[in-house]
Chains A and B, each alone.
Chain A
Amino acid sequence: MKPAPFAYYAPTTLDEALSLLSEHGYDAKVLAGGQSLVPMMNFRIAQPAVLVDINNISDLAYINAEEGGVRVGALTRHHQSETSPVMARHAPLIYSTMPKIAYPQVRTRGTFGGSLSHADPSAELPTLTTTLDAKFRLVSQRGERWVSASEFFIGLYTTALEPDEILVEGFVPELPPRSGWSLQEVNRRKHDFALAGVAAVLTLDESGICQDARLVFLSVGDRPMYAERASNLLKGQTLTPEAIRAATELATTEEIDPGDDIHATADFRRHLAKTLCQRAIEQAHQRAQGKQ
């Protein structure tokens, strides 16, 4: 379990890194926290000819509060997000989910940008950023662009990133008042990838009617699965048990695409998604009512 030979660069500026990516294109891989890439290289599943290590670029790790949300640098370690008061205040869904991502050793190294760029459909951050309608700034020598999370995640380990681009930061909008959130997942062991999971955010109007809702599933498709129709079904409704059940039913029968593997059948995953979706909406509803 030793990696195949590769050339290694450790640029200290973003410009240098972008120039290396521009030069090597598909042959290059960006190394951030390395918590997925390095094991894949050791298994020789990934054999990049060139590794561009961005850990020495110092100005890419930050969590800053801004008008309407929080700006998170690509090299922000999960551990920083987990312990950041700014994150706790402005993106409590991300903040409170952090301890569910793997275990402390992984969170010490793993990064915000790395997890998003890797785009594992079982990872939490892609789902959370999709749920919160975050957007990402992608930079290359050709210029920069902002892409929304929903457009960024394309498929299994596949994103909108071009080979010469780096995701340098994300912007996570803050939830409006009377909003509630929840992340529910089932893991075999505390630190495992979820067998199934769902994030829910809800915003109520002053009379308690659901104004806005977003339900996004993880581990039950090739990317974060945004249940748009079920989310829309909740809007304009009083969240009665029947309303919650109906949205759950729609989301988990028509808007997810679970697969079979050794840990769970598609059937069981769908069952879990259903159970969890109901629990997530209920919890988000409670929070939106200020009950938790």
Chain B
Amino acid sequence: MDKRLIGKRVVRNEDPRLLTGQAQYVDDVNLPNMAHAAMFRSEYAHARIRSIDVSKARAHSGVIAVYTAEDMGADCYPGPPLVSPPPTVKDVIFNSRRQVPLVKDKIRHAGEIIAVVIAETRYIAEDALDLIEIEYEPLPVVADIEKALEPNSPLVHDDLDSNLAAHLVQKKGDYESARASADVIIQRRFTIERGTAAAMENRGIVAQWDAKSEALTVWDTTQAPIPIRNGLAARLGLSESKVRVIAPFIGGGFGPKIMMFYSEEMLVPWLAIKLNRPVKWIEDRRENFYATTQERGQVHEVEMAFTRDGKILGIKDDFIHDTGAYDPYGLTTPLNTQSHVMGGYDIPNFTSEFRVAFTNKTIVTPMRGAGRPHGIYVIERMMDIAAKELGIDRVEIRRRNLIKPDAFPYEHGIIDQAFAPLIFDSGNYEAVLNETLKAVGYEKFIKEEQPRYRAEGRRVGIGVLPFIETTGVGPYEGARVTVEASGKIAVATGVGTQGQGHFTSFAQVVAEQLGVDVTDVRITTGDSAHFNWGTGTFASRGAVVAGNAMHAAATMVRKKILKLASKVLNAPEEELELEDGMVRVADIPQSSISLSDLAALANPLRGAVEPGTEPGLEATAYYGPQYGPTAFGVHAMIAEIDPETMMIKILRYVVTEDCGTILNPLILEGQIHGGVALGLGNAYYEKLHFDENAQLLNASFMDYLLVGSTEMPRIEVHHLETRSPLNELGTKGVGEAGAIPVPALFAQTMEDALYDYNLEIRETPLNPNRLFEIARKEKTA
């Protein structure tokens, strides 16, 4: 019998609860005497507050309290920096400016909170919002990231000389001399615009203060419950052990739910203590469009140097990154962009300089992809342009430059988002490319099918391109594995979960070591009362960092089981087998003991636990990587476009992913499907439209176009497994992979489909209107 559980298509342990509506979300927490908060948010993106009058709101029937920054007094100070700037790079500029719970004097983006109303119901609280009177002095608005850095721009932060939030240069080799020896130099400019993560569940917080035991319990839709607990304890002057943060089931995080601390996260627990009443705040969708962090705004000026036969000599990429009104999350996103702008290619010379700009827009923090799609967009668009200019097939030019299998570990000599050296641990890139070409039928399509379509007047294009994903960064995660008296396995971790199937994939890792059914492993995650060390679920790191901590703890428990069973069954450890919740002596099935009985023996009610041993079958372990593993994949798309309406139909979508050891293909494929959905959104549907006053024009799902089931193609996923040598399980992350290459792939496919229009796409997201304009311009040019 095959005892391996890792790599099996195990159905998810959590689904029965989720599908029958029994899973607890933050909004399901309803406590006696609970009050409801609603936020008064600024309409203006940039304005000075002249006066605030909350007297009518306070007098409104059913209102419990109204607070402004002034009422909050000394407790109203900025949140802590979430990620400090990189210490290891020379001459870095970083101006840390962070959001406050309530704004006192100057509004820096539309949606900032000026006052909070607490009432008996949310309805009453919202009615009272209409009674608050604010006198604003509107200020000139910083809406455009390039203009933001011009000398005469209005300032988002008056105490700074400019809107420059950060500046950083990274170099590898010597780009200037590579340029001097190049046959061909290609220069382009690319713009990438903002979208939003649009998790199905908006943010929400419920805080409960127990004055008698001076204990605070907070239910929070956070991806990082442990850091929230520690930060709240520090902020509120409480012992960490008196603050419990629970991140229950979360309806999608995608990055923005690890921004810390959101204004509401600072406010709601404070209010619960102040009022000595439980307080609930649930973000509505409109608030989410203004108050939850966003991403993707960058402008790149790129130059690449090639030899005549398509070998890349070097790349120079200067870009501006939009951080919005504040920069609590440091430089993670632009550093990721830098780490990905060389793609999976062997590029000897590299210079990248970025400037981060403050603007009067919602704060930018990582969102699924987190700077990576930008880097891949830039390099892959440049590769397509180079292929055309050099007259080399677009697959062939990529093949010539991919990092070879024997070049790993491949050291770039720059730093990544975690300030660790950017090293690609392992990979077999060309094999992944070949697998994809075969699966999509590239040769046949180009030689037979496409000419036939074109003869019929149909415009059907194909795109194929590779991408990398740096994943699984530190610092660490931990897990505690316990064999309970029932024989079931209890596992606790601090990592948090947001729908990735952790209750199953982690259970598989543990069950494989302990020889139990996957359903007998019960995972507890995101509750600081159960496990209080950890950072959170982000950066495609759950399976790598928490997964390996699980594996380490389970391995330790396995050793304890074997040691005790060896004694009980009077057989050497190496002859013991763990299977079906039993320990058996190999070949003597009648000589066995259940894990349940063994757990009881390990934790006796009478007698003694031997000196030098611990009671129970339990172990806690941690895993912290020195640097993260890098995954690789290739996506291919065949799509038809109607050049009159610019309506598209995706006929084929093929993914080959190599993220090392696969824990559960079902979950992995689900991750990729979701990622591709976001990627397609970023390519052709999802765009936040801001006007020149930084006012968002499409703050609803009627006008912000998410990709739905009717737009999604069927996705064929293929796998290769190049184990990571960096960790025991050999895993690499995949959480963001699906989203990363799609905008670049879409652009390539559209250029191919509209072959007779001679398009060059240099922006994302596109839409039919924009594509129509570009096509018309290029055709008449």
Segment of A18-26, A149-157, A260-268 engaged in the interface with chain B? A260-268
Residue of A nearest to B691 (CB): A262
Is A88 positioned at the interface, with any CB of B under 8 Å from its CB? no
A157 to chain B, nearest CB (A): 15
Contacts of B767 in A (CB 8 A): 188, 263
Which residues on the B side are within 8 Å of A264 (C-beta)?
Answer: 768-769
Task: Give the interface residue-count category, chain A.
Answer: 20 to 34
A1: B residues at CB distance < 8 A = 126, 284-286
> How distant is the Cα of A271 from the Cα of B771 in the complex, in angstroms?
13
Report whether B127 and A275 are in contact in the complex, using a CB–CB cutoff of 8 Å. no
By beta carbon, the residue of chain A nearest B699 is A43
Chain B residues closer than 8 Å to A93, beta-carbon distance: none
Question: By CB atoms of chain B within 10 A, which of A1, A2, A3, A192 has the most?
Answer: A2
Report if B21 contacts A (CB, 8 A): no
Majority secondary structure, A binding face? loop
How distant is A237 from chain B, measured CB to nearest CB, in Å?
Answer: 24
B705 A2 Cβ-Cβ under 8 A? no
Given the contacts A1-B285, A2-B126, A191 and B689 also touching, CB distance less than 8 Å? no
Q: Which residues of A contact B769 (CB under 8 A)?
A: 195, 263-265, 268
A233 at the interface (CB under 8 A from B): no
Whether a CB of chain A sits under 8 angstroms from the CB of B710 is yes
Q: Does B429 contact A (CB under 8 A)?
A: no
- Across the interface, name the chain A residue whose C-beta is closest to B700: A43
Interface residues of A in 1-41 (CB under 8 A from B): 1-5, 39
A3–B707 CA distance with the chains assembled, in angstroms: 28
Are A188 and B768 CB-contacts (below 8 A) given A4-B127, A5-B127?
yes
Best-surrounded residue of A39, A272, A275 (most CB of chain B within 10 A): A272
Q: What residue in chain A is nearest B125 (Cβ atoms)?
A: A2
CB proximity of B301 to chain A, nearest CB, Å: 27
Q: Interface readout for B380-408 with A: 1 if CB under 8 Å, 0 if not?
A: 00000000000000000000000000000
Pair A190/B710 contact, Cβ less than 8 Å: yes
Shortest CB-to-CB span from B402 to chain A, Å, is 36
B186 to chain A, nearest CB (A): 31
B755 within 8 A of A: no
A-facing residues in B669-710 (Cβ within 8 Å): 685, 689, 697-698, 700, 702-703, 705, 707-708, 710
Collect the chain B residues with CB atoms within 8 Å of residue A272's CB: 644-645
User: Which residues does chain A contribute within 8 Å of B710, judged by CB atoms?
Assistant: 189-191
Q: Write out the residue numbers on chain B whose beta carbons fall within 8 Å of the beta carbon of A271.
A: 644, 772
Evaluate contact between A263 and B703: CB separation under 8 angstroms: yes
- In the assembled complex, B123 has its CB within 8 A of some CB on chain A: yes
A186 interface residue, CB < 8 Å from B? yes
**Are A189 and B708 closer than 8 Å at their CB atoms?**
yes
Closest to A47 in B: B130
The answer for the CA separation of A272 and B769 in the assembled complex, in Å, is: 10
The reply to whether the CB of B275 lies closer than 8 angstroms to some CB of chain A is no
Is the pair A191, B768 in contact by a Cβ cutoff of 8 Å? no
Complexed CA–CA distance, A3 and B126 (Å): 9
- B705:A192 contact, CB within 8 angstroms: yes
Q: A4-B130, A264-B769, A271-B772 are in contact. Are A186 and B645 (CB under 8 A)?
A: yes
How far, in whole Å, are A262 and B705 apart by their CA atoms in the complex? Answer: 11
Residues of B within 8 A of A188 (CB): 685, 705, 767-768
* A2-B122, A4-B127 known; A268-B285 Cβ under 8 A: no
- CB-CB under 8 A from B126, the residues of chain A are 1-2
Sorted from nearest, which 8 A-B pairs have the closest CB atoms?
A190-B710, A1-B284, A275-B644, A262-B689, A268-B769, A2-B123, A2-B126, A264-B769
Measured CB to CB, the residues of B under 8 A from A are 122-123, 126-127, 130, 284-286, 644-645, 647, 685, 689, 697-698, 700, 702-703, 705, 707-708, 710-711, 767-769, 772-773
